Amino acid sequence: MANGGKVKVGIIGSQFQADIHATSLQIMPDTAEVVAVASPTPGNAAAFAKKFGIPRVFTDYREMLKEKDIEMVTIAAPNSLHAQMTRDCAEAGKHIVCEKPLAMTIAEGEEMIAVAKKHSVLLMYGEELLFTPKYLKAKEMADAGAFGKIYLVKQSEKHFGPHSEWFWDVNRSGGGAFMDLGCHGIAFAYWFMDRSPIKSIYCQMGTYVHGNKTQAEDDSLCILEFANGAAALIENSWAHRGGMDDRIEVHGEAGVTYANLHMGNALPTYSEHGYGYAVEKAPSTTGWTYPVFEELWNYGTPQELVHFARCARGIETPKVTGEDGLAIMHALYAGYASAGEGRKITMPFQSPAVKKPIDLWLNGPARRQTK
């Protein structure tokens, strides 16, 4: 890499995850710095830049990509834009951090990987659960043999639904709770199993609470079987009350560990008056609440982005890539097909190249019968 000093980063997007990216790089400021932000809504990028002290502001991200000194771009925009943005970043010679899920379709995901290769840039996949300190500890213990042979891993992420309108529109998101949150759980389990191939998927999903605002599923259960003989259970919800809930369990023949990401890092608190902020997506701060401390550090996003910046300089090798994102996309498709057809799907599954994942559930015979 030609540049010395800190890795110069541009962020596409200026809302939820963009804020996490900028904050994360300020938490760990030694390796990388955000020098530009691009977001189309007038005033948003400027306000974001002011908040974080970012010198360059763009309403069109393509203009930002012309900045020669930017080495790495993080894509924190709706899922339906990931493919086009990745293509543009690659063509501009920028290393890419693409937020999850990788894309809307398999065809898009494959093209993203190909275009990054063609232009010799890295396509890194934003899955912070591989950097979450508490979950890393579980993996380290597993690798050290603490639990013997592992037969079951569980991961669940649940809350009462996303903060932005586009998530609820399946044409912009590709799917509901399973697509949005299940991609984390599948990535986690796949990584925990040292990328043992996924052999089968069985999913159950429904729209239980938010049918007035989305076609998408707001709750899903997913069972994965791996080639190594172990299983994973992934539970996701946009219908879960009480703020964000993210947890894992690891079960082996010689032991078990449980990790609750939020409650386990919280101060059980009672307040009549409330206070500023408890935790992501918490509905209030009065009564009993569980405020977390060092929230982003506990998620692992600063560690993730610093690792990616070091990869951009060739100092480290990406721990999670576009190829991982694509493997997860295949699993998502199989999961939606399973719920749509009401049966276990054996992998490899011929994911349709262009339909979005949720179509396999929305149009599936099992859903049509129960709707």
Ligand X SMILES: NC(=O)c1ccc[n+]([C@@H]2O[C@H](COP(=O)([O-])OP(=O)(O)OC[C@H]3O[C@@H](n4cnc5c(N)ncnc54)[C@H](O)[C@@H]3O)[C@@H](O)[C@H]2O)c1
Site residues (vs ligand X, CB under 6 A): 12-18, 38-41, 44, 61, 76-79, 81, 99-100, 126, 128, 164, 166
Distance CA 331, CA 284 (A): 35
Least CB distance from residue 61 to ligand X, whole Å? 5
Give the CA angle between residues 261, 183, 347 to the nearest 5°. 130
Least CB distance from residue 140 to ligand X, whole Å? 22
Asked if 153 and 129 count as a contact pair (C-beta separation under 8 A), the reply is no
Q: E strands, the chain, where? A: 7-12, 32-38, 56-58, 72-75, 95-99, 123-126, 150-158, 198-206, 219-226, 231-237, 245-252, 255-260, 269-271, 287-289, 345-346
User: Could you tell me the two tokens for 89?
Assistant: 């970043």
Distance CA 201, CA 302 (A): 32
Distance CA 257, CA 197 (A): 23
Amino acid at position 249, single letter: E
304 or 359: whose CB is closer to ligand X? 304
Asked if 243 and 291 count as a contact pair (C-beta separation under 8 A), the reply is no
107 or 347: whose CB is closer to ligand X? 107
Least CB distance from residue 177 to ligand X, whole Å? 12
Distance CA 208, CA 50 (A): 41
Q: Treating both helix axes as pointing N-terminal to C-terminal, what angle do 16-27 and 44-52 enclose, rounded to 10 degrees? A: 20
Least CB distance from residue 111 to ligand X, whole Å? 17
In DSSP notation, 55-66 reads SEEESSHHHHTT
Amino acid at position 191, single letter: W
71 or 180: whose CB is closer to ligand X? 180
Picking from 61, 8, 101, the residue whose alpha carbon sits closest to that of residue 320 is: 101
Least CB distance from residue 79 to ligand X, whole Å? 5
Least CB distance from residue 360 to ligand X, whole Å? 20
Least CB distance from residue 219 to ligand X, whole Å? 18
Q: What is the DSSP letter of 131?
A: T
Amino acid at position 48, single letter: F
Least CB distance from residue 261 to ligand X, whole Å? 11
Asked if 38 and 12 count as a contact pair (C-beta separation under 8 A), the reply is yes
Distance CA 153, CA 256 (A): 10
Least CB distance from residue 227 to ligand X, whole Å? 27
